[in-house]
Chains A and B, each alone.
Chain A
Amino acid sequence: MELDLKPAVDQSALFAFLVRLGDNALILGHRVSEWCGHSPALEEDIALSNTALDLIGQTQLWLGLAGEIEGQGRSADDLAYLRDGYEFRNILLVERPNGDFGKTLMRQFLFDAWHYLLMKALQNSSERRIAEIAEKAFKEVAYHLERSQDLVIRLGDGTDESHRRMQAALNDLWPYTGELFASDDVEQTLSAAGVIPHPQSLKSGWDEIVSTTLSEATLQKPDDGYMHKGGRRGVHTEHLGFILTEMQFLQRAYPGAVW
């Protein structure tokens, strides 16, 4: 298949970036799917499995492209199922445990607001295949954001208990949001080449969505204190190992089997 990726673009940077995108979608999709059949309302079961399904679909596209760029014959499944934790490049936010439903929704909202802006910007990527995937993902992500934002507002401005839970979720997760805007050589190289927006360029848009939403939700935006990071270079929390143990069980227990 013709890749239509200009040789001028650093292929290893491209691979690294695509794996970061794919791993974010995969691990968040995994977390969201853990709710299946256990959520507080039937409509939420449907919405969550739909969100997880979108994220797994995006994983297939991002990791599939990453494998092609790498050129070592690794498929999206190989990347998802046959790497160990230190090779995963998702941000720590998405591997945070689900907690109560409020925490799951808050994690989704903080991620969606960023994901939305990134997919919007990636539609203008100088790399056609990236722009095409972003165009498809953007439609899905716009809906994810609409939904998670709406629920954060309603629950923040709901009962005292729902307000308290949403504020606690926000406080817990806030230190994991800094990594959304972190950058290293990969992002520097690719943003300079017009392949991706610079991560920092998404920050003001994210701040605006988050501030407006939290204010409508009557929630207090935490101060930007210490921010956890590490996932993007393969240094994860202890949670990721268990996610992978579960996710990769069949591929590891029956090496080479076709499913």
Chain B
Amino acid sequence: MYAQMVKTDAARVRSLDEMDPVERAFQERVDAGQKIEPKEWMPEGYRKTLVRQISQHAHSEIVGQLPEGNWITRAPTLERKAILLAKVQDEAGHGLYLYCAAETLGVSRDEMYEQLHSGKAKYSSIFNYPTLTWADIGAIGWLVDGAAIMNQVPLQRCSYGPYSRAMIRICKEESFHQRQGYDALMRMVKGTPAQKAMVQDALNRWWWPSLMMFGPSDDASVHSAQSMAWRIKQNSNDELRQKFVDQTVPQAKYLGLTVPDPDLKWNEEKGGYDFGEPDWEEFFNVIAGNGPCNAERLNARKKAWDDGAWFRDGLTAHANKMADRRTASKIAAE
């Protein structure tokens, strides 16, 4: 999940009877499955929650370029290099649609960057883990994009029109990303023992952080309940995590890999796997900035932004000059 633990400002979810007529009309439209569009009235909490969630999602796409970009220059074949370039390009594109979707809620991209750079806005915990071998690139496609799809498919039905539409487009590309990741790993497990060991090592390191992407259990969270009432969120974190495990474990078996969870066991009764608890202390540490790559990721983004200031200023100055010249030539012509 690219957006984790998004706050809603709600103390509790209110019933229709407690709402004033405007808010009640809004909630009834949401309940009826209608889309809310940018110019329409919406509760301030709804707007703020969406800005938090969409910007966190956008930041994740942008920061997510870094761990994968780390291997573009070392991709083992020209074809793998081209596929990885295309994937990272898609991710930057997703960031762009998502920033645009957030802008419809009255926040600018520059403001969102400022929040990212100051540490006020978060991005997914997963991108604070390092990509140490080529197998990590396959594992990110398979597991990280797999987990992202689990979350993003329901987001296509989100009540906010621009977010929902961005997700429809993004989901199409994400499924290609997941397939290419799995395909790269498939090739490796069929290869030499060293290649297979590399894939197992990647699974060992990425399995738990991938399960953490869904966030801690939110069954008792008021924010989650409010997000669901607004139809921003459709499923609980535990539901999505279960679905992900059920889908992924057979894929791991097909690759001939061992999932690094001694508690993993098929439960016939529930028709799904039982599995161990991720290390939530590690998760909260990563969220708090103590993950293995938090400092590097954020510094890389800040450096890109700061070093690029002259470039953006140059383009703005040129645009202003052109506008002045057009005005001057118009005056001269009159």
Residues of chain A having any CB pair with chain B under 8 Å? 26, 30, 33-34, 36-46, 49-50, 52-53, 56-57, 59-60, 63, 76-77, 80-81, 100-102, 151, 153-155, 157-159, 161-163, 165, 243, 246-247, 249-251, 254, 256-259
Contact = CB atoms under 8 A, between A and B. Distances in A.
B82 A259 contact: no
Contact of B318 (A37, A40, A80, A157): A157
Contacts of A38: 69, 300, 303-304
A249 B70 CA distance: 13
Q: List the 6 shortest-distance A-B pairs measured between CB atoms, nearest first.
A: A40-B308, A162-B314, A158-B314, A37-B65, A36-B69, A49-B89
Interface residues of B, number: 52
Interface in B183-234: 184, 187-188, 190-192, 194-195
B73 interface: yes
Interface string B68-98: 0100111111111110011011001101100
A166 B236 CA distance: 52
Contacts of B79: 60, 77
A33 B74 contact: no
A45 B74 contact: no
Given A40-B305, A258-B191, A56 B78 contact: yes
B194 A254 contact: yes
A154 B318 contact: yes
Interface string B302-317: 0111011111111111
Q: Which of A49, A59, A60, A63 has the most CB of B within 10 A?
A: A49
Nearest to B315: A154
B170 interface: no
A57 B82 contact: yes
Contacts of A151: 315
Interface in B20-75: 62, 65-66, 69, 72-75
B85 A53 contact: yes
Interface of B: 62, 65-66, 69, 72-82, 85-86, 88-89, 92-93, 95-96, 99, 109, 134, 184, 187-188, 190-192, 194-195, 300, 303-305, 307-319, 321
A53 B82 contact: yes
A155 B308 CA distance: 12
A44 B78 CA distance: 23
Nearest to B69: A36
B99 A42 contact: yes
A259 B89 contact: no
A37 B316 CA distance: 22
A249 B317 CA distance: 43
B12 to A, nearest CB: 38
Contact of B311 (A40, A52, A56, A250): A40
Nearest to A158: B314
B74 A259 contact: no
Contact of A259 (B88, B109, B134, B316): B134
Contacts of A80: 78
Nearest to B62: A42
B314 A161 contact: yes
Nearest to A79: B78
Nearest to B195: A257
B194 to A, nearest CB: 6
Given A259-B76, A259-B191, 9 more contacts: A34-B73, A37-B304, A42-B95, A42-B96, A53-B85, A60-B78, A102-B311, A155-B315, A258-B190
Given A80-B78, A250-B76, A259-B77, A41 B195 contact: no
